């Protein structure tokens, strides 16, 4: 059955199955590319936060409080979210899995930093480590949201263990890998589709889906899905 993916700019995605269950990932909806505001997002069943940076925690607190839903993150970030009033802050760690309703979530490795800028004043609070997530709905394509990361060799283990059909990969460069490295990640993961993220939000994030396509082999160039912010796309 098809799965619907809506990109809200930067690394924010709403992933919904055919029965209406949904996951909101890295909900920074105040980003310049987002077509909606935090108060307009449809109710998800849970929120996933890949790491502690403000452009990924984003609006998770206010959305979670409004809908009274779980926010899943690495343990240290969950402790921070608990102090911010998230009643269902749920911590886990890499390699762990959990289920919320019919949604299965597994936390994977990522190569990035994660400290939390408390109050935006440069005072940092430890945020554990950055992570990615494999998201599975029964009978639907499996989605891998890599979070902020560089390419790393153990992406091949993610392929072997989870067989993601759709890989959502950062391509902007500077703070994450760029298109060349993301193309190498595609070779390790072997997804049916790849979606770029963490690009175009600010001028330094220069990578594009078109550039990613150029780095892929001719046989793989058709797997790049360039999403338009706010427009759902179905993947089968």
Domains recognised in the chain with CATH numbers: 3-235 (3.60.15.10)
Task: Say what the pTM is.
Answer: 0.98
> What does the chain come to in residues?
236
Q: Tell me phi and psi for residue 186, to 5 degrees.
A: -60, -40
CA distance 219 to 6: 26
DSSP assignments along 57-95, one per residue: HTTHHHHHHHHT--EEEEHHHHHHHHHTT-TTEEEE-TT
Distances in Å between the alpha carbon of 179 and those of 79, 137, 174, 191, 225? Answer: 34, 28, 11, 16, 14
Q: Which tens digit of pLDDT belongs to each residue from 10-42?
A: 999 999 999 999 999 999 999 999 999 999 999
pLDDT of residue 55: 97
Q: Does the pLDDT at position 121 exceed 80?
A: no
The pLDDT of residue 105 is 98
Nearest to 30, CA basis, from 4, 54, 66: 54
Average pLDDT, the chain: 97
Can you give the pLDDT at residue 119?
74
Split at pLDDT 50, 70, 90, the class of 123 is confident
Report residue 120's pLDDT band, with 50, 70 and 90 as the boundaries.
confident
Name which residue leads in pLDDT, 118 or 77. 77
E strands, the chain, in order = 3-7, 13-16, 22-25, 46-48, 71-74, 89-92, 97-100, 103-109, 116-118, 123-125, 131-136, 143-145, 166-170, 193-197, 233-235
Parallel, antiparallel, or unpaired: how do β-strands 71-74 and 46-48 relate?
parallel
Residue 93 and residue 74 in contact, taking contact as beta carbons nearer than 8 Å: yes
Q: Residue 73: what pLDDT? A: 98
């Amino acid at each position: 059955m098809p799965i619907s993916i809506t990109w809200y700019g930067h690394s924010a995605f709403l992933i919904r199955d055919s029965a209406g269950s949904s996951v909101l990932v890295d909900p920074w909806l105040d980003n310049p590319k987002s077509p909606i505001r935090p108060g307009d997002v449809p109710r998800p069943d849970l929120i996933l936060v890949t790491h502690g940076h403000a452009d990924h925690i984003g609006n998770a607190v206010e959305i979670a409080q409004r809908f009274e839903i779980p926010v899943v993150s690495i343990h240290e970030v969950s402790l921070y979210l608990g102090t911010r009033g998230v009643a269902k802050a749920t911590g886990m760690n890499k390699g762990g899995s959990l289920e919320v309703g019919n949604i299965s979530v597994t936390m994977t490795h990522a190569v990035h930093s994660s400290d939390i800028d408390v109050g935006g004043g440069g005072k940092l609070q430890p945020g554990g480590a950055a992570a990615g997530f494999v998201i599975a709905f029964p009978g639907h394509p499996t989605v891998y949201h890599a979070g902020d990361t560089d390419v790393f060799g153990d992406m091949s283990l993610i392929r072997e263990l989870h067989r993601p059909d759709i890989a959502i990969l950062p391509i902007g460069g500077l703070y994450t890998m760029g298109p060349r490295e993301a193309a190498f990640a595609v070779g390790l993961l072997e997804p049916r589709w790849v979606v770029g993220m963490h690009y175009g939000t600010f001028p330094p994030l220069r990578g594009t889906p078109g550039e990613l396509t150029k780095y892929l082999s001719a046989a793989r160039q058709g797997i790049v899905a360039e999403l338009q912010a706010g427009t759902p796309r179905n993947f089968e």
